[in-house]
Amino acid sequence: MSIVGLQRVTYGVADLEAGARFWRDFGLTPHPGGGGARVFTTAEGAEVVLRPLDDPGLPPAPVAGPTVREVVWAVGDDAALRQIAERLPAACRREGDSTSVRATDPAGHAIAFERTRLTSAPVSPTPFNSPGHAQRIDQQAPLYKQAAPIHMAHVVFAVIDLDATARFYRELLGFRLSDSYPGRGMFLRAPGASDHHNLFLLCRDGAVGFHHVAFDVRDIHEVFGGGLHMTGQGWATHLGPGRHPISSAYFWYFKNPCGGAAEYDFDTDIITDAWQPREFEPTPDAFAEWAFPSGTRRYDGIQTART
Ligand SMILES: [Fe+2]
């Protein structure tokens, strides 16, 4: 079952202009969108789509307000798409069309599967100088005025029933477990992808909903170039710049008016089925990075998740 990566995230947003400005400043390429939508792409052709919050065509989300309303996974071929359609129980299927399969995961997130439209966007390696190993001589390092994200790498959902949600992705869709905080978080990789994770399920403080989406950039210089540009444009940092202990990635997250956060990411671990999943203790230091931006909320037992 060849799910090769992330094709699209669709947001329902309260302020289309602010949302569009955020993604332009973040470095995605704008495209004309029909029906009042705004569309932005990465260099590989993954899409961010913005629709008005009250668009009746948007599927429901576990939280009210601006947030991601659908995550679309890219599938390698039509046979894989048919296989997904056969495996997903009717109870979680949503109405689709001949080119897609639409469903809702056990935590209430609308997901879909479409034939991949991702393309490769080759990047020249950046030479680095380390002690005794100079690769860049008589030449300055790249200096980026703004980022231009290449690859939509992962999305993160906050869930209450971590095991049930992970079982859905692992047993029905073939996602692989990369690493975990037992009982608190699972890093999952799509079966046809090599990113350390394409989906992180986070179980913390009773929160539900979309947490963030991450984009790979070309090198560490671009993490800083993009982050400084975003800061200069008035966007607030959610977390960073920093370096994840799990996945090894350098990061910088920004609070997103469309909901949750958006992350610049560089040098994440690339893994295969030979990778041995590890378990990590969710110590306050290690787990503190998973603080919540807007777009998720605490589950207090009174405000039940929307269905
Ligand atoms: Fe992330």
pLDDT per residue as tens digits for the range 7-16:
999 999 999 9
In the chain, the domains with their CATH numbers are 3-119+147-298 (3.10.180.10)
**Residue 214 alpha carbon to ligand 1 centre in Å:** 5
pLDDT at residue 173, rounded to an integer: 97
Confidence band, pLDDT 50/70/90 cuts, at residue 294: low
Q: 48 Cβ partners below 8 Å, 6+ apart?
A: 8, 9, 11, 23, 28, 39, 40, 41, 213
DSSP class of residue 91 equals: G
**Residue 172 alpha carbon to ligand 1 centre in Å:** 24
Residue 303 has pLDDT above 80, yes or no: no
Greatest pairwise CA separation for the chain in angstroms: 63
Angstrom distance (rounded) from CA 158 to CA 144: 33
* Backbone φ, ψ for residue 20 (5° rounding): -65, -40
pLDDT at residue 85, rounded to an integer: 93
Give mean pLDDT, residues 39-68: 96
**Residue 252 alpha carbon to ligand 1 centre in Å:** 9
**Residue 281 alpha carbon to ligand 1 centre in Å:** 18
**Residue 210 alpha carbon to ligand 1 centre in Å:** 12
Give mean pLDDT, residues 164-180: 98
Confidence band, pLDDT 50/70/90 cuts, at residue 199: very high
**Residue 188 alpha carbon to ligand 1 centre in Å:** 12
pLDDT at residue 205, rounded to an integer: 86
